[in-house]
Amino acid sequence: MSVKNLSVRRALGILTFVSGVMAAAGTMSAAQQPIKDGWVTMKIHSMFVPEDALEGSNVDVDTDKGVVTLSGTVTSEAGRARALAIAKGTDGAKSVVDKLRIGPAERELEDVAHDAGEATTSAAKEVAKDTTSAAKEVAKDTKVVAKTGERKVTDGWVKSKIFAQYLTESALEDSDIDIDVANGVVTLNGTVKTAAGKARAVAIAKDTDRVSGVKDNLKVG
C-alpha cells in the first residue's frame, strides 16, 4: 500500500472519529440542557392541586436558577412538610427555601362571593325563599360547581390549577409567568415568548373554575 493511500485512510479514520465524538457531545448537550425555572414552578404547582394536605393553603412558588422558594400559608405542619417534599422532589429543583407560614384555611370562593353580594341577585333571593325540593337541588348544584373533586375552591387552588394547565401548553414553553389570585380575580405578570402564548395564557385563566376576572400584565419577549 502506498504512503499516499495510507495517509488518506488515516485522515478518513480521524474524520470519522471526530464526527462521532461531536455527535455524542451533541446528544449529551441536549440531554443535559438545564430545566427552565418557569417549568419548575409550574410543575410544583401542578402537583399541589390534588394534595389533601394542602387543601385551604395558598402557596407561592418562585424559582431562580433552580433554587425554589416557597412562601405563603399552609394549614398545618403536615401541609408544610408535604409542600417541601414535593418541591424537593421536582426535577430541576436544586434546593428549596422554606418561607411558609401556618395559618387558617383559606375561605372558599363561593363564600367570598356571597359576602361580596353576588348571592343577592333576584335568582339567589328566590332560591333562598323557596324551600321546595327544586330550590334545594339548585343549591346542591351550586355547591357542586364550587368544588372540584370535593376539594375546596380557594384562591390558592385556582392559582395552582392555572399553573397545572400551563404546564401542558406548547405555546407557553419557556415562558416565565407569575400568577396572583385575590377573591377570584387573577392577575398575570411576567413574560411569554409570543402573542399567541399571551392569548392562550389569558384564555386558560379565564376558563378556570371560579375565576371572576383576569388582569393581563403579561409582556411578549
98 and 81 Cβ atoms separated by less than 8 Å: no
Least confident interval from 121-125, 145-149, 206-210: 145-149
72 and 25, same structural domain?
A: no
pTM of this prediction? Answer: 0.72
Which residue range(s) make up the domain with 124? 109-148
Mean pLDDT of 89-98: 97
The residue with greater pLDDT, 119 or 214, is: 214
Res 126: pLDDT: 57
212 lies in some domain: no
Number of domains in the chain: 3
165 lies in some domain: no
Q: In the numeric block, which cell numbers belong to residue 77? A: 405542619
- Give the pLDDT band (50/70/90) at residue 96: very high
Strand 185-192 versus strand 176-182 pairing type? antiparallel
Residue with cell 332560591: 127
Q: In the numeric block, which cell numbers belong to residue 41? A: 414552578
Taking the C-alpha atoms of residue 3 and residue 5, their distance in angstroms, rounded to an integer, is: 6
124 lies in some domain: yes
Res 111: pLDDT: 87
221 lies in some domain: no
215 lies in some domain: no
46 and 100, same structural domain?
A: yes
Tell me the CATH number at 51.
Answer: 3.30.1340.30
3-state SS, residue 193: coil
The residue with greater pLDDT, 34 or 21, is: 34
100 and 56, same structural domain?
A: yes
The residue with greater pLDDT, 107 or 4, is: 107
69 lies in some domain: yes
The residue with greater pLDDT, 113 or 19, is: 113
Q: State the average pLDDT for the chain.
A: 81
100 and 45, same structural domain?
A: yes
Res 60: pLDDT: 97
- Give the pLDDT band (50/70/90) at residue 25: very low
95 and 47, same structural domain?
A: yes
14 lies in some domain: yes
87 and 62, same structural domain?
A: yes
Question: Is 65's pLDDT higher than 90?
Answer: yes
83 lies in some domain: yes
Closest to 204 in 3D by CA, of 186, 178, 191, 182: 186
3-state SS, residue 78: helix
Taking the C-alpha atoms of residue 94 and residue 10, their distance in angstroms, rounded to an integer, is: 46
Domain C-terminal end among 148, 172, 204: 148
92 and 64, same structural domain?
A: yes
Mean pLDDT of 186-200: 97
94 and 53, same structural domain?
A: yes
Question: Is 199's pLDDT higher than 90?
Answer: yes
52 and 3, same structural domain?
A: no
Mean pLDDT of 130-150: 45
Secondary-structure breakdown of the chain: helix, strand, coil percentages, each rounded to the nearest 5: 50, 20, 25
Least confident interval from 105-114, 128-137, 180-189: 128-137
Secondary structure of 118-164 as H, E, C letters: HHHCHHHHHHHHCCCHHHHHHHHHHHHHHEECCEECCHHHHHHHHHH
The DSSP string of 81-127 is: HHHHHHHHTSTT--EEEEEEEE-PPPPPHHHHHHHTTGGGSHHHHHH
83 and 64, same structural domain?
A: yes
96 and 52, same structural domain?
A: yes
Question: Is 11's pLDDT higher than 80?
Answer: no
